[in-house]
Structure formats: structure tokens, C-alpha cells
Structure 1
């Protein structure tokens, strides 16, 4: 299984790692059966994600996709961050092996889960804005 240089770089030197004590939204996705669990934290000002951090328990691809996803949404308006797809994460990393595509799906879902939590904390039903976030089943996560 070959990883791109970008995947290896984001795995070895991940960006935006850590917890955020004063987060405006926190999303956790994954499943212990998958072996990959991602937690995303977002800070939002005027509908812009001004800061984002992650904590991921999982393989190198899970860490790399988390890192890249945070880079792709930081500084973006929430509506633009919600357009992030697992395909965009994979393309930004110059691809992933087929057996690791589910890691990019988790990264997309983690961002959406954090945004959902952000809206919930404000008393707003996130489902019409964010949509449903599917659960992981049988070791794979799908959108």
C-alpha cells in the first residue's frame, strides 16, 4: 500500500492537532470497531471557522485526513466548510489507497459533526443545514 508524499507529511507532521477547551462546536465520529475515532473542535466568529483542532485515534491515513480537513476549512465560512467532501480531502492529499478511503469520509463527517454541535449549542436544529451524519458500521464509514 503506497501513500503519497502529502499523506506521509501530514501523518508525520500533522497540522492543527490538540484539544480546544473553549470550542464553539465539537464533533466526534468513528467507531472503536473501525479503529479510527476523530474528534474535531471549531471556533467560530461571524459564521467563519477561525480555528479548528483535531484529536484522532487511528492509522496514519486517519491522522493525515484529519490534518488536511482542518487545513481546508480553517478560515472558511461555515456554509463553505459544509461543502467539504471526502473526495476533496483525498485530492488535496494526492490520493489514498482504496482501503483507506473511509478515513477521508470520517474527516468529512467530523467537520459536519462539529458544525452540528455548534448549531445545537445555539438552539438551532442542525439537520436542515448539515444533514444527517451516518454512523460507522462494520468497520467502514460511508456518506
Structure 2
């Protein structure tokens, strides 16, 4: 079953980085895919307009878990604007590719990251009012 995944995907699936929740997260973003049931939630902590910490909880297949792990690795230390530039394609490329049948359904981690940042920015706007 897992022979369709490369070593980097299997590594991030078997040993995912940054798993968990951030208590009192500055932003939370969730994305689900109704086709295969994958659900990704990203939690972010912001310090000086930079992602100081990023964690995830994912219910899904190996590709969804690996993509969630990879997007956290890619995002930590980035400014909000830099993190908003991360695409699902960037995540797949950083994983050295995903099987074609997993690209659309499971690779939604960047979408969840963007939602977490938007959640944070919306809260910031409301606090200014």
C-alpha cells in the first residue's frame, strides 16, 4: 500500500514533525476534503509578525499527514507574508512529489495554514476596532 510513496513522504508520515495543538493559538485553520475524509487543522503562534510555532492535527491518509508535517517545517520562522506564499504545490515539491491520485485530495495543508493566518489577521483587525 505504501510503495506508492517516496522515502521523504514515508518519513514525514512515520515521524511527523510538529504534531499537536498550541494552547492559546494566535490562529487556527481547518480544511477538510469530503471526497476522502482528510481533515487538517493547523495552529499558529505569532511573534514579531513571524510564525514562531506551527503545529497540526490531521485525520487522513499518509499523504495528508506527510503534507501537514512538511508545511509546518516550511512555515516555522517565516513572516506571515512569506507563509502565505507557500502553496500546496510547494509542499508536494518539498516532499519530492506525491502520487497523482493524492495531489488534489490529500495535499490541502497549505490551505489550512493560510486559513490559520487569516484567522489571526481577522482577530488582529477586530482587536483594533
Superposition TM-score, scaled by structure 1 size:
0.82
- When the two chains are superposed, the root-mean-square deviation of aligned CA atoms in Å is 1.2
Q: Where does residue 13 of structure 1 map in the other structure?
A: 15
Q: Return the alpha-carbon distance in structure 2 between the equivalents of residues 120 and 81 of structure 1.
A: 16
> 1:13-33 CA deviation, whole Å, 9 max, x = no partner?
000000111110000011444
Q: Return the alpha-carbon distance in structure 2 between the equivalents of residues 90 and 107 of structure 1.
A: 10
Counterpart among 6, 24, 28 of residue 26 in structure 2: 24
- Structure with the bigger percentage of helix: 2
Q: Secondary structure at the match of 2:90?
A: helix
Q: Return the alpha-carbon distance in structure 2 between the equivalents of residues 39 and 8 of structure 1.
A: 20
Give, in angstroms, the shift of residue 75 of structure 1: 0.5
Q: Which runs of 4+ in 1 moved over 2 A?
A: 31-34
Shifted more, 26-35 versus 68-77: the winner is 26-35
- Long gaps (5+) in structure 1: 125-143
- Long gaps (5+) in structure 2: none
Counterpart among 73, 76, 86 of residue 74 in structure 1: 76
